[in-house]
Amino acid sequence: MTPNLLSSTLESQQNWLITTHKGPDGDAVGSVVAWAAYAKRCGKDHLILFPDQPAAYLCPFLEGYNWEVFTTDKDYKGDLLFALDYNSSSRLGEEMSVWFDSQTLIKVMFDHHPNPADFVQIPVSIPTSCSTTEVIYRVLEDLGQRDQIDIHVAKGLYLGLLTDTGSFRFPSVSAQTHRMAAHLLDLGLEHHLIHEAIYDVNSVTRLQLRGYAIAEKLQLFPNYRIGIMSLSKDDLKRFDYQKGDTEGLVNVILSIEGYDLGVFLMETEDGVKLSFRSKGQRFVNTFAQAHFNGGGHQYAAGGFLAADLKTTLAKLESLLVEM
Ligand code: 5GP
Ligand code: MN
């Protein structure tokens, strides 16, 4: 990154359009909240644009900010376009990526996914960072803006830190991550409220769906140390599925002794969304990219196949050796 270019760009442009990826998770929402809070702090106007509706448990974090779900009917006005927590416009989904690529404004990316595409003028990519909010924190430090981090910026930063590190447990967590968390707590951040808002928001049907997935829909392949969990459209309907209900479920597979690769499949109207998680020497992003139109990090990746669940499961099982 060239701090001077970024600094002068931020200073000279008034209307900030802030975007994040489809199916926004805690780091995506945390990043846009932190950046919108910083925009407010700098006296800038902001609009957060999501490709699709964030899960209900993340929406309280957006209170007090201007945010919308993208639609092709509208003409969004801005001077600066931010891409947070994604590294290629394809992560916006079909409609919003066409819009993003056709915009002639200056585009800035803050992200931590490896191998970013060349799709913005000012890319800040730190693949060793545990979360995009850690990248944003470092950007603010590099810009000499550490003092501008107030409690509102801190809330967004902590949300991404917490969720993208599996509550501070993944190998991506560094001493620097904890120093950052300590700084946020020094600002008066009530970290327990954020943990509660993320992890203690189960509905009865959400818990039952998760229990059912573990009890009835988990296939184990001990020879390969792989577990595959899948939920069909009917399963989701039966337990009144709400967005976010399956978040983190794939990690349950990795918690089984002797298993170090987990795949979670969820059937949707258009096809099957896949989530891959791994540990140790097994990396999943290249596999997701090669076979399921996806990508991500070494230990956490995702993909999508426009097929039904049965077909997708069969394809996956035919690839067990490669995995
Ligand atoms: P999740 O399983 O939580 O949906 O995604 C895990 C990781 O994989 C995230 O870091 C996300 O950025 C990445 N990822 C998920 N889906 C896709 C996809 O369709 N394409 C790419 N390139 N990355 C994805
Ligand atoms: Mn992230």
pLDDT per residue over 189-228, tens digit each? 999 999 999 999 999 999 999 999 999 999 999 999 999 9
Spatial distance between the Cα atoms of 124 and 127, rounded to a whole number of angstroms: 10
Give distance in angstroms: CA of 28 to centre of ligand 2.
Answer: 6
Complete DSSP assignment for 91-111: GG-HHHHHHHHH--SEEEEEE
Flag residues of the chain having pLDDT under 70: 1-2
- Are 124 and 91 part of one and the same domain? yes
Domain identity same for 210 and 191: no
**According to the model, what pLDDT value does residue 3 have?**
74
Q: In angstroms, what is the span from residue 216 Cα to ligand 2's centroid? A: 30
Per residue in 170-189, pLDDT tens? 999 999 999 999 999 999 99
Q: Which domain holds residue 166?
A: 3-199
- The pLDDT value recorded for residue 315 is 97
Q: Are residues 145 and 234 in the same domain?
A: no
Q: Are residues 101 and 72 in the same domain?
A: yes
- Count the helices and strands in the chain (H runs, E runs): 12, 12
- The CATH number that applies at residue 267 is 3.10.310.30
Q: Which atom of ligand 1 is nearest to the CA of 164?
A: 10
The verdict on 195 and 209 lying in the same domain is: no
pLDDT at 110: 98
CA of 72 to the centre of ligand 1 (A): 24
Q: Is residue 146 part of a domain?
A: yes
- Give CA angle at 50 (308, 235), nearest 5°: 30
Helices (H), the chain: 3-12, 26-41, 94-102, 132-142, 151-164, 175-186, 191-199, 204-216, 233-238, 249-254, 285-292, 309-318
Closest atom of ligand 1 relative to the 303 alpha carbon? 19
Residue 301 alpha carbon to ligand 1 centre in Å: 5
Ligand minimally distant from the alpha carbon of residue 112 = 2
Total tally of structural domains belonging to the chain: 2
Encoding tokens for residue 5? 């270019």
Q: What residue's CA is closest to ligand 1, atom 14?
A: 302
Is residue 26 within 6 Å of ligand 1 at its C-beta?
no
262 Cβ inside 6 Å of ligand 1: no
Residue ending a domain, among 171, 199, 227, is: 199
The answer on 131 and 223 residing in a single domain is no
Which of 199, 230, 258 is the C-terminal boundary of a domain?
Answer: 199
**Res 151: pLDDT:** 98
Domain match, 96 and 10 both = yes
Last residue in a domain, options 170, 199, 228: 199
Phi/psi of residue 11, nearest 5 degrees: -65, -40
Reported as a single tens digit per residue, the pLDDT across 279-296 is 999 999 999 999 999 999
Is the same domain home to 277 and 159?
no
Ligand 1 pocket test, candidate residues 21, 91, 170, 276, most atoms within 8 A of CB:
91
Residues 123 and 222 in one domain: no
Nearest atom in ligand 1 to the alpha carbon of residue 264 is 2
pLDDT at 114: 94
Q: What's the CA gap between 97 and 89, in Å, rounded?
A: 5
Q: Are residues 185 and 147 in the same domain?
A: yes
Q: Which atom of ligand 1 is nearest to the CA of 304?
A: 19
User: Residue 190's CB: how many other CB atoms inside 10 A?
Assistant: 12
